[in-house]
Structure 1
């Protein structure tokens, strides 16, 4: 299965999503904010298949993280999450870099489906 870097500053959301994705067989590394995630991203020599990150976070938000991650690991698929309409609008400018934006709150089935879709599109992009 996939190696996923999950970033969310809300402990409950991070734990919920991490557990769900691990039950699906993925290897999930969790980060508490964008700066923590970027440190983990650059320290991991094998890289990650997917960056799943909240947009609104302290220290470094998800958009800044997505931009930095795309420069550092251009082949990695990026999936954003947000509960704020204004943040979703900010992400619209990143269409070339991100796969999609998942709206919070989401169900377990919704986040699993979004991750599966992002990973399958990432696999197709790498095969092309």
Structure 2
């Protein structure tokens, strides 16, 4: 019998209570956890064996070396860690938001629920794993889904941990497949690698997903490609309607 290799996560936070809480939560979820009290401590651990970590969870606001300063330092030394960062932040400033967007980093805002954090963790690790399996291909607008897609125009809502938390984004689906959906909406582009929850009302579908790409079409409309964390079973209604076209 093959033994499943557990994923290993490095948690960096200057508050010991937070480190212990995350360690307990993530260990119960099946992950192996290492802890660091600050950026300097984390760099020492990464220097020993950088390749053993599947994800680095870190606080943005830490004394001495901030989470962003640590990230820049580490990316200069170990560029292979690209895509393995999950930032925790309480207050999102314009500069920090720009840093996340420019580098396509995933982040979760405080306070967050434990189930919400696990969703982000699973999604970020899953996304990085898909990149490795496809020989480094980054999913974007040019890398279309290869599985069969079905035209399905209906309204949906998109939730995230940011501005669309209390008031979800209303969008319209353009197509759907087992692995994802393309949506159209009025508003700013979503952030690549951002974790969201998408609810397609007519299909009674509520799934965790990750934003793969997002682009402005004109002054009003924006398109986005959203990939489900786990493949879905397409409802029969979608398949039947497609066959009648």
TM-score, structure 1 as length reference: 0.88
Counterpart of 1:79 (choices 62, 82, 86) is: 86
Aligned to 2:98: 92
Q: Distance in 2 between matches of 1:18 and 1:98?
A: 26
Greater alpha carbon shift after TM alignment, 13-22 vs 71-80: 71-80
Counterpart of 2:39 (choices 11, 14, 34) is: 34
Identify the structure with the greater helix proportion. 1
Moved over 4 A (4+): none
CA contact (8 A) 2:100 2:106 kept: no
Partner deviation per Cα, 1:54-75 (whole Å, 9 max, x = no partner): 0000121100111122233323
- Please state how far the C-alpha of 1:35 moved relative to its aligned partner: 1.4
Q: Quick check: 1:126 aligned with 2:139? A: no
Greater alpha carbon shift after TM alignment, 92-101 vs 73-82: 92-101
Partner deviation per Cα, 1:67-110 (whole Å, 9 max, x = no partner): 12223332331110011222x74153244545311101111101
Q: How many residues align?
A: 127
Q: Distance in 1 between matches of 2:130 and 2:77?
A: 20
TM-score, structure 2 as length reference: 0.48
Counterpart of 1:8 (choices 1, 10, 13) is: 13
Aligned to 2:140: none
* SS of corresponding position for 2:79: coil
Please, which runs of 5 or more residues in structure 1 have no aligned partner? Answer: none
Please, which runs of 5 or more residues in structure 2 have no aligned partner? Answer: 1-5, 135-245
Identify the structure with the greater strand proportion. 2
Q: Distance in 1 between matches of 2:98 and 2:7?
A: 26
Q: Distance in 2 between matches of 1:34 and 1:122?
A: 22
Aligned to 2:121: 115
What is the Cα-based RMSD across aligned positions, in Å?
Answer: 1.8
Larger RCO: 1 or 2 (CA < 8 Å, sep 6+): 1
Indicate how the Cα distance of structure 1 residues 121 and 103 shifts in structure 2: closer, same or farther if over 3 A, else same: same
Larger radius of gyration: 2
